[in-house]
Amino acid sequence: MFTCIQGDKRMRENTSTSDKLLLAAIDLMAEKGYDGTTTKEIAAAAGVNEVTLFRHFGTKENLLKTAFSRYHYADEMTKLFRESLTGDLHADLLLVSRTYHKLMNRNRKLLRLAQKGGNLPEEVYEESGRHPQQLKKLLMDYLADMAKQKKALVPNPEMQALSFMWMNYGAFFSSLNKKEAVSEEWLDEFIKESVGLFARALTP
C-alpha cells in the first residue's frame, strides 16, 4: 500500500503522485513550518486528494521523514576534498566556498524547514546537523596539512576552520529567509572577497 513501484502510466508522467506530495510538502513546510502546514494544503498543492496523502504516507510525520531522506544531499564535500584540491590555498578555499554555497542552496528548503523546527521527528535534526561537522573536520585537516607544508600560517586550525565555515554559514543563513536566493553575481563577489581576505590572513 505504501510502496508504489509504478511501472504504469503514472510513472511516465514526469512526477509520480508520491513525488508531487513530497515536493509540495517541502515547499509549504519551508515557508510555514511543519506545524503551520496542514495535510489538506499539501494535498491541494500537489493536486491530489487529501486521502491520497494518507494512503501513501500514513502520517504527516512520515511524509516529512520520507521527504527529508529522499532529497537531502549526499557527501559531495568529502569527494571534493579528496579529489579536487590543488594545494594552492587561495584556489582551494575558493573552490570549497563555492561548493559550500552550491550545496546549501540546493538544500535551501530543507534547511529552512529544519531551522524552523516544530514537532519535527528527531531524524531531521540529526541529518541536518551531520554536514557541518563533517566539513569542519575536512577543513581543519586541510589547514593543518597546509601549515605543515609551510604554505599557510595556521596557529589554531580549529578556530581558523570555524571562522571560515561560519563566515560562509552566516552569509548563507542571512539570506535563507528571504524570498529569493541572493543573485549569483552578488554571492560570487562576496565569495571572492571573503576568500581573498582569508587567504591573505593565512598566507605567510
Stretch that binds a second copy, among 13-21, 57-65, 68-76, 195-203 (CB under 8 A): 195-203
Q: Which residues of 13-42 are buried (b: 16+ CB within 10 A; e: fewer)?
A: eeebbbebbbbbbbbbbbeebbeebebebb
- Smallest Cα–Cα separation from 28: which of 40, 15, 18, 42? 42
Residues 14-43 that bind DNA (CB under 7 A): 16-17, 37-40
Report the C-alpha gap between 99 and 105 in whole angstroms: 10
Q: What does 194 bind: a second copy, DNA, none (CB cut-off 5 to 8 Å by kind)?
A: a second copy
Number of residues counted as binding a second copy (CB under 8 A): 35
The nearest distance, CB 19 to DNA, in angstroms, is 10
C-alpha cell at 6: 509504478
Residues 32-71 that bind a second copy (CB under 8 A): 32-33, 35-36
Strand, coil or helix: what is 181? coil
Q: What does 1 bind: a second copy, DNA, none (CB cut-off 5 to 8 Å by kind)?
A: DNA
Strand, coil or helix: what is 87? coil
CB nearer to DNA: pick between 6 and 203: 6
The nearest distance, CB 82 to a second copy, in angstroms, is 25
134 binds a second copy (CB under 8 A): no
Torsion on CA atoms 83, 89, 94, 96, rounded to nearest 10: 40
Q: Give the per-residue contact string, 175-194, with a second copy (x = CB under 8 A; - = no).
A: --x-----------xx--xx
C-alpha cell at 35: 506545524
Q: How far is CA 125 from the centre of its chain?
A: 12
Q: Which residue has the cell 534547511?
A: 111
Stretch that binds DNA, among 58-66, 96-104, 128-136, 185-193 (CB under 7 A): 58-66
- Smallest Cα–Cα separation from 191: which of 94, 118, 113, 112? 94
C-alpha cell at 180: 529569493
Give the type of residue at 77: M
Binding interface with a second copy (CB under 8 A): 32-33, 35-36, 115-119, 132, 155-156, 159-160, 162-163, 165-171, 173-174, 177, 189-190, 193-194, 197-198, 200-202
Binding interface with DNA (CB under 7 A): 1, 4, 6-10, 16-17, 37-40, 47-52, 54-56, 58-61
